Amino acid sequence: MLKSFSQFQVAKESADVIIMDDNFSTIVTVGKWGRSIYINIQKFVQFQLTVNIVALIVNFSSACLTGNAPLTAVQLLWVNMIMDTLGALALATEPPNDELMKRSPVGRKEISSVFNEINSRELEKINVFKGILRNHVFVAVVTCTVVFQIIIVQFLGTFANTSPLTMQQWIGSILLGFLCMPIAAALKMIPVNGK
């Protein structure tokens, strides 16, 4: 590491990091943003794996038991579109905070739905709703996801091969989706690596 105003050109050429503003506090900011990006990628990967595994299990088990896959190609495309675009946008825009600097650095060997998306906001904290309104992009994306889902299920049945749900079916779907919240909270209480 080298300060940019140093007189030694040879040292500048061989340095891994050059501080351009001659201020060591920049290193803290860089570290905070680096950890934030790493955590945001982890959140998105967790979200993506969960959605893909659930879609695979639902389609595969149903195809084996009944001979028909419940999710059509258009429906799977819809799930992937929501997951890859809006989900990534929502989870990747969490800004860095001072709590990130209290965590131990990430080791070099470490390998890097609406309720699941909310659950994926915090990888280690049980209260995933804390500070949720600070990230306006996340709130907007989750709201758009819910609105688009209602539109595609209730009004675009011919295109998406869906049938409109009754109020009881909507409530049942919401309660079933909400089950991932306490399950994730229970999983987060399991100690990992002596933490």
pLDDT at residue 15 greater than cutoff 80: no
Domain count, the chain: 1
**d(C-alpha 125, C-alpha 139), whole Å:** 19
Q: How far apart are CA 151 and CA 153, in angstroms?
A: 6
Range with the poorest average pLDDT among 5-9, 101-105, 133-137? 5-9
Residue 35: C-alpha distances to residues 31, 117, 163 (Å): 6, 20, 44
24 located within any domain = no
CB 100 within 8 A of CB 88: no
17 within some domain: no
Q: Domain range holding 148?
A: 40-188
**Does residue 30 lie in a domain region?**
no
Phi, psi values for residue 48, rounded to 5°: -65, -45
Q: Nearest Cα to 122, choosing from 29, 47, 48?
A: 47
The predicted model gives 100-106 an average pLDDT of 65
Q: What is the pLDDT of residue 63?
A: 86
Q: Which of 182, 183, 160, 164 is nearest to 173 (CA)?
A: 164
Looking at residue 2, its pLDDT comes to: 46
Amino acid identity of residue 108, one-letter, is: R
pLDDT tens-digit readout, 171-193 = 888 888 777 778 777 877 777 66
Any domain includes 21: no
Mean pLDDT over 65-90 rounds to: 80
Mean pLDDT of 129-145: 80
Q: Quick check: is 19 in a domain?
A: no
Say what the pTM is: 0.50
- Determine, yes or no, domain membership for 137: yes
Give the mean pLDDT of the chain.
74
Residue 98 covered by a domain: yes
Q: Is residue 25 part of a domain?
A: no
